Amino acid sequence: MKVFLTIARLIVGSLFIVSGLIKCNDTIGFSYKLNDYFAADVLGLEFLIPYSLILAVVICVVEIVLGVAVIFGFKSKLTTTLILLMMLFFTWLTWYTSSCLEAQEIASKLGESFDKNCVTDCGCFGDALKLTPKESFYKDLFLLIFTIPLFVFAFKGMIPKNKPKQDVFYITASLLLILVFGVFVIGWWFTLIFSALLYGLVYLVKRQTDNEWFSLLVVYIISLGFTWYCLQNLPLKDFRAYKIDSNILENMSMPENAPKAIVDYHWKFNVNGSEQVLTTRGSYPEVEGGEFVSVETEEIEAGYEIPILDFSIEREGQDFTEAILNEDNVLMIVMYNLAKSEAEGLTTLKSITDDATKKGYKVVGITASNIESQQEIANAYNLNFDFYFCDEKALKTVIRSNPGVLKLKQGTIIQKLHWNDIDDLSFD
């Protein structure tokens, strides 16, 4: 049982740290996902939408704190109780999401209406690792296998605070797991670096005091500080298709030799009163004396998915996407919702956009707000550039800042800045 508890603590603690750190990196993105769940046609919790960012920060930071706590054996009863409650909730949520999608698919096949909106991605690991709701549900079930025994045996006094030698073992083993998952799977070395520094600091603090709350407070402050830094700037690691050095036009197109999806078609026929199912890779089968009943598709192997599907630059009903993205030098000001744009950020735009224009850049404002709002903002802040329209959800994906600034060269993102960092913009 000791071996199992050790493995359980390492797996649960390490995954909680990596999961929390990835979401702390992009807390705004996680808050958008919470808004999807809070929507009236999903969970009907619209009253929580104004608090989604606060909730996102709390959830992310608490994940890291609980992960560290279970690794070091801090407050094991409270820690395992909170972990179990979180896992039960998220397991229910992923089951609900998966069931919603299945019900939606069945209704579609039957030609029936479906009055619920389904969230297609739970956001467990942000944009770093996309899991379907069903995959997320199985992942949560897997973690429950370890979480429930941890909870039970913590209350039996079998998970005491580590001794110094145990700390060394748990830190080393946990860092190896984080190396595998955070670096080899996710592809982010910072997960390992952050965890190593955090573990080292907690180890030193623990040697100076027996107060477990003080050690956890240190974890909380550091995790919150990292979250705040990413909120005030941009995510330290950009996992989206709009990261620096990526080309928007290329990410909107299908490569010539891109692998196609392999799909099985299950054709159902009525042959002399009995049901017969034939499977092909698309062609309609010839069945002598058979009456076609229905067909179902099953994806055997996923094909290439175009990274960007919903980005466009429009004005007065005309599409300017390719024309603008093919320009040599473009300064793109992204403001997904002008009414929600930071006033302090808007005041910084006048000087940098005027400077960009003088240096030969085409300056464009991209927003989902209407023409009246565009004109109002332009007049209020004396902005001398044209506004174009794009879908709000797409713009929220482009940059986690409102306003945010992108410098492009023939569709390739050269610089990407939060309005707080506008002084770092260069026109070389």
389/383 Cα distance (integer angstroms): 16
Look at residue 209 and tell me if it is in a domain: yes
266 backbone dihedrals φ, ψ, rounded to 5°: -100, 105
If you search the block for the tokens 């960012």, which residue do you land on? 53
Look at residue 340 and tell me if it is in a domain: yes
If you search the block for the tokens 């956890």, which residue do you land on? 216
Same domain, 13 and 81: yes
The candidate with the shortest Cα–Cα distance to 5, out of 147, 164, 171, is: 147
Residues in the chain: 428
46/52 Cα distance (integer angstroms): 10
pLDDT of residue 54: 96
Amino acid at 134: K
pLDDT of residue 350: 92
Look at residue 252 and tell me if it is in a domain: no
Look at residue 255 and tell me if it is in a domain: no
Amino acid at 173: A
Would you say 332 and 408 are in contact if contact means Cβ atoms under 8 Å apart?
Answer: yes
Same domain, 60 and 175: yes
- Domain limits for position 382: 309-424
pLDDT along the chain (428 residues), means of 10: 91 96 95 90 89 96 97 95 95 89 72 74 81 87 94 88 93 97 94 97 93 95 97 95 94 84 85 84 80 80 84 93 94 96 93 93 96 94 94 95 96 96 90
Same domain, 149 and 276: no
Look at residue 253 and tell me if it is in a domain: no
pLDDT of residue 109: 62
Distance, C-alpha 144 to centroid of its chain? 22
Rg, the chain, Cα only? 26
pLDDT of residue 332: 97
DSSP of 214-254: HHHHHHHHHHHHHHHHHHHS--SS--STT-TT-BHHHHTS-
- Alpha-helical runs (H) found in 26-126: 27-38, 52-72, 76-110
Same domain, 289 and 190: no
- Overall domain count for the chain: 3
CATH of the domain at 355: 3.40.30.10
The candidate with the shortest Cα–Cα distance to 163, out of 173, 153, 155, 171, is: 171
DSSP of 301-352: E-----S--S---EETTEE-HHHHHTSSSEEEEEES-GGGS-HHHHHTHHHH
pLDDT of residue 111: 65
Query: What is the sign, positive or negative, of the torsion defined by CA atoms of 234, 237, 241, 242?
Result: positive
pLDDT of residue 367: 96
Same domain, 184 and 42: yes
| Strand (E) or helix (H) holding 362 | strand 362-367
Strands 404-409 and 318-319: unpaired
Same domain, 49 and 178: yes
Same domain, 183 and 267: no
Same domain, 324 and 266: no
For residue 370, the SS3 value is coil
The candidate with the shortest Cα–Cα distance to 268, out of 250, 281, 287, 283, is: 287
* Cβ contacts of 302 within 8 Å, gap of 6 or more: 261
- The string over 398-418, giving b where at least 16 C-beta atoms fall within 10 Å of a residue's C-beta and e elsewhere, is bbbbbbbbbbbeebebebbbb
Would you say 41 and 182 are in contact if contact means Cβ atoms under 8 Å apart?
Answer: no
- The end-to-end CA distance of the chain, in Å, is 63
Same domain, 320 and 360: yes
